[in-house]
Homo-oligomer: A and B are copies of this chain.
Amino acid sequence: MNEQNLRELLDLVRLGALPPERAVARLKHLPFEDLGFAKVDHHRALRQGYAEVVFGKGKTPEQVAEIVKSMLRQKGSRQNILVTRADAKMFAAVRRANAGVKRLAKFHPLSGVITIERSREITGKGQIFVVSAGTSDIPVAEEALLTARAMGNRAEHLYDVGVAGIHRLLEHREKLTQARVIICVAGMEGALPSVVGGLVAVPVIAVPTSTGYGASFGGVAALLGMLNSCASNVTVVNIDNGFGAACVASCINRL
What's the nearest-Cβ distance from chain B to residue A80, in Å? Answer: 15
Q: Is the CB of B202 within 8 A of A255?
A: yes
Is there contact, CB below 8 Å, between B44 and A165? yes
Chain B residues whose CB sits within 8 angstroms of the CB of A243 once the complex forms? 232
A195→B198 contact, CB < 8 A: no
List B contacts of A126 (CB < 8 A). 255
**In the complex, are the beta carbons of A232 and B215 less than 8 A apart?**
no
A227 to chain B, nearest CB (A): 4
- Contact count band on A: 35 or more
The segment from A15-23, A91-99, A113-121, A184-192 found at the interface with B is A184-192
Interface residue from B135, B180, B194, B208 paired with A255 (Cβ < 8 Å): B180
CB-CB under 8 A for A233 and B216, given A38-B160, A168-B39, A191-B189:
no
The interface residues of chain B lying within 8 Å CB-to-CB of A50 are 232
B32, B58, B189, B220: the one within 8 Å of A230 (CB)? B189
B-contacting residues, A37-63, CB 8 Å: 37-39, 41, 43-44, 47-50, 57-59
Binary CB contact string for chain A from 203 to 246 against chain B (1 if under 8 A, 0 otherwise): 10100101111111111111111111111111111111101110
A189 touches which one: B190, B241, B251 (CB < 8 A)? Answer: B190
Cβ B164 vs Cβ A195 within 8 A: yes
B188/A213 in contact, CB under 8 A: no
Assembled-state Cα–Cα distance A255/B190 (Å): 26
Q: Which of B162, B180, B194, B218 contacts A163 (CB 8 A)?
A: B194
13 A-B pairs besides A58-B135, A163-B194, A202-B251 with CB distance below 8 A are A37-B135, A44-B165, A163-B163, A164-B198, A188-B228, A189-B194, A190-B191, A213-B239, A214-B227, A215-B219, A215-B220, A232-B247, A234-B248
